[in-house]
Amino acid sequence: MDDTILNSDQLDALKEIGNIGAGNAATALSQLVGKKILVNVPQADFIRIDKMSVSSLSRDPQELSIAISFRILGVITGGMMVIFPQRSALLLIDILYNRNLGTTEIFNIEDESALSECASILSCSYLNAIAQLLNLYQLIPSIRDTFIDQFGKLTQVIIRRFIPEETNFLLPIENRLTVEGAEINVFVIFLLEPASMKKMLKTAGI
């Protein structure tokens, strides 16, 4: 497989892995908040880092967001980001603390910690889905780092500072969750090293 070209079957396989992870993540979040969560079909894409533009990841690159980044350790290596746009983050905080929707207007340290824990649960759900689907176990998220900035700046800074140089590809997945009538957007972005991507596709039989 060429490191820069994937065929349609390979692209579909990677996107399907992301879709299965999204379903697992929604279930985990539902258990955390104790409320029913509806999840739309996730929007997954596949982007080469050297072809990436901020607009390819977000419709509003200037929106203030909170991002939690991890490295993936184990039989597959790379990185992972979970990003909550501000509006969705504030709604999720209200839901986590059983507040009326719209109560929280700014983040505090406790809120950041709660969102970081949610991101940890979501990321583990995604990794568990990959492990079960591909029989690739021992996938472990590293200690997480948390950042608050504009969406566009977050993705650029985290990719540049915290992701290994060998990482060539992004698999961004936009999850749209509905909780008690409130829509919450969560972006999960995988940063894939070529060797790990090949291993995933080979195990999937593609």
The pair of three-digit structure tokens given for residue 79, joined into one six-digit string: 């990185």
- Is residue 165 within 8 A of residue 87, CB to CB? The reply is no
- Is residue 184 within 8 A of residue 91, CB to CB? The reply is yes
pLDDT at 44: 74
pLDDT at 90: 92
Phi, psi of 36 (to 5 degrees): -70, 135
Say whether pLDDT at 5 is over 60.
Answer: no
- pLDDT per residue over 54-107, tens digit each? 555 666 777 888 888 888 887 777 788 888 888 899 998 998 888 888 899 888
Task: List, in order, residues 6 or more apart from 85 with CB less than 8 Å away.
Answer: 58, 60, 63, 64, 65, 151, 185, 187
- pLDDT per residue over 157-203, tens digit each? 666 665 555 666 777 888 888 887 888 888 888 877 777 777 777 77
* Residue type for position 176: R
